[in-house]
Amino acid sequence: VEFLYCDLASMKSIRQFVQQFRAKNCPLHVLVNNAGVMLVPERKTEDGFEEHFGLNYLGHFLLTNLLLDTLKQSGTHSHNARIITVSSATHYVGKLHLNDLQSRCSYSPHGAYAQSKLALVLFTYQLQHLLTANGSHVTANVVDPGVVNTELYKHVFWVVKVVKWMTAWLFFKTPEEGASTTIYAAVSPELEGAGGCYLYNEERTKSADVAYDEELQRRLWTESCKMVGISDEASRLP
């Protein structure tokens, strides 16, 4: 195991990480997008993005796009490279505000978190569409890990923390259990060549209806390219 530092809340850090990784001339067979914050108070990343949207979504959007060439070169017809993005069941109640992605008009920790998780699902479906159109040997899937007992809940109200402490053993998954569907998406032979899936408990399931809106997928993709400073056309090249 070799560690390379990457701060998903910093566009500069992401670009530096990709430069370091590329310098190693290593193939890239599996990319798991799993960083995240939840219900944080209103604050911004160093690039001025609302933190949920900037870290949970835009950081992964930029990282994935900058690594696409390496992924495409690493995948083969019989062994596709795989991109796995971790979302949440919270995306089912999320609303994407294309005119206010930074939640400037009205900030809600719950709303901002849900929007970031919905954006990840929309991103995955559009990414798979582009990969398929380019004939790339890369698949993109999105995972719902379930309710997992981690430090992600440190910003919730204290009463919720007490309830979590008392009931986690019964209702929450352990981190190992929560990782099972991500691992399944990364290595299962059943998913070889299969992309654009929403996975929960190691099974394909249906995501929110709005996530299948292809026009919304395209508009989010285009806007995201502008926000992180990459070419929309370049990201579509094989």
| Whole-number pLDDT of residue 231 | 87
10 Å CB burial of residue 206 (0-12, 13-18, 19+) is exposed
| Whole-number pLDDT of residue 234 | 46
| Whole-number pLDDT of residue 167 | 53
Separation of alpha carbons 57 and 178, rounded Å: 20
Separation of alpha carbons 17 and 5, rounded Å: 7
| Whole-number pLDDT of residue 24 | 96
Separation of alpha carbons 96 and 104, rounded Å: 13
| Whole-number pLDDT of residue 162 | 42
Read off the DSSP letter of residue 211.
G
Tell me if 59 sits within 8 A of 17, measured CB to CB.
no
Domain 11-236 is found in CATH 3.40.50.1820: no
| Whole-number pLDDT of residue 132 | 96
- What's this model's pTM, rounded to 2 decimal places? 0.87
Decide if 113 is catalytic. yes
Q: Which of 113, 125, 184, 198 is catalytic?
A: 113
| Whole-number pLDDT of residue 59 | 97
Which residues of the chain, if any, have pLDDT below 70? 146-175, 178, 233-238
Q: Give the strand order in the sheet containing 81-86.
A: 30-33, 81-86, 138-144, 198-200, 203-205
Hey, which residues does 53 pair with through a beta bridge? none
Domain ranges of the chain: 11-236
